A = this chain, B = another copy of it.
């Protein structure tokens, strides 16, 4: 049985909290001004978007490297579309859009498409964890350097 992943979140003040991951990395979270926060850190829901972008970005870089592609940059732009309906609570992301912008030399469309599919179907744990509720869609651009 594999060890569970861990995190701890501690109240600081106002709506400011410090989260610390089991691997020892800490950062501030905060709510928006207007709901008692001061925007000193990301919202918890934004962490899902950064997490899904980070997870699939790691996969795509690894896979393209294995394919000997000359990757010089990768950005993943993530949008989380809120469920509609005044009486739907709690709010969640009904749809998550991922746009991959791969920069490099001689990067083929086929390799990028295949890397994204492998991340979606086989490797990306964050996608797997969000997919029960959020529909995830992907698109990509290749920038030749």
Contacts of A19 in B (CB 8 A): 50-51, 53-54
Tally of this chain's copies:
2
Given contacts A44-B50, A44-B55, A47-B126, 13 further A-B contacts (CB under 8 A): A4-B79, A4-B82, A5-B93, A8-B53, A9-B76, A11-B61, A11-B74, A15-B58, A21-B50, A25-B42, A36-B62, A44-B52, A133-B133
Q: Is A116 in contact with chain B by the CB < 8 A criterion?
A: no
Residues 1-39 (chain A) with a chain B CB within 8 angstroms:
1-2, 4-11, 15, 17, 19-25, 27-29, 31-32, 36, 39
Between A32, A53, A73, A133, the greatest number of chain B beta carbons within 10 A of the residue's beta carbon is seen for A53
Contacts of A25 in B (CB 8 A): 28, 41-42, 46
**Proximity bits, A102-140, B CB within 8 Å = 1, else 0:** 000000000000000000011111111111111000000
Contacts of A1 in B (CB 8 A): 84
